[in-house]
Amino acid sequence: MADLNKKILIVDDTKSYLFILSETLRDAGFIVVTAGNGEEGLSAVDEEKPDLILLDITMPKMDGITMAKKLRESNMQVPIIFLTNMSDIEHVSEAAETATDYIVKADTSADDIVVRVKEKLNIK
């Protein structure tokens, strides 16, 4: 396992998915911070200064699109990859306004997400 020294924030309200994804990213050498909703995610961004955010769209308290818009309004330029089970055009186009990528969770393994994260961070 390489020490990549890159911090990933995962914001997702599904605890089992959050656990699997965070463990897979840790095994790949990333530092992982988690949050269970958009409000917690915004606080974590301020405290942790992540290199990349994996962000679920549908969550309680604050959804991922709202969180991403708030980050962009504050000029936070950290790359965001949306994670969702929605694949309709409305959410894809809305997510594209604030994210660098969009992953449908049901179609993508945790290992494939690690590959996408490395691509976004230019890690070989």
pLDDT value for 86: 65
* Structural domains of the chain, ranges and CATH numbers in brackets: 7-116 (3.40.50.2300)
pTM over 0.85: yes
- Top-confidence range, 39-43, 56-60, 69-73, 104-108: 39-43
Q: Is 75 exposed, middle or buried (0-12, 13-18, 19+ CB in 10 A)?
A: exposed
Q: Which amino acid is at 3?
A: D
Which pLDDT belongs to residue 97?
A: 65
53-64: average pLDDT: 89
Residue scoring higher pLDDT (92 or 114): 114
Q: Are 57 and 11 in contact (CB under 8 A)?
A: no
Determine contact, residues 10/22, Cβ cutoff 8 Å: yes
Distance between CA 9 and CA 35 in Å, rounded? 8
User: pLDDT tens digits, residue range 60-74?
Assistant: 888 888 999 899 888
What percent of the chain has a predicted confidence (pLDDT) above 70? 85
Q: How far apart are CA 60 and CA 39, in angstroms?
A: 9
Q: How confident is the model at residue 16 (pLDDT cuts 50, 70, 90)?
A: very high
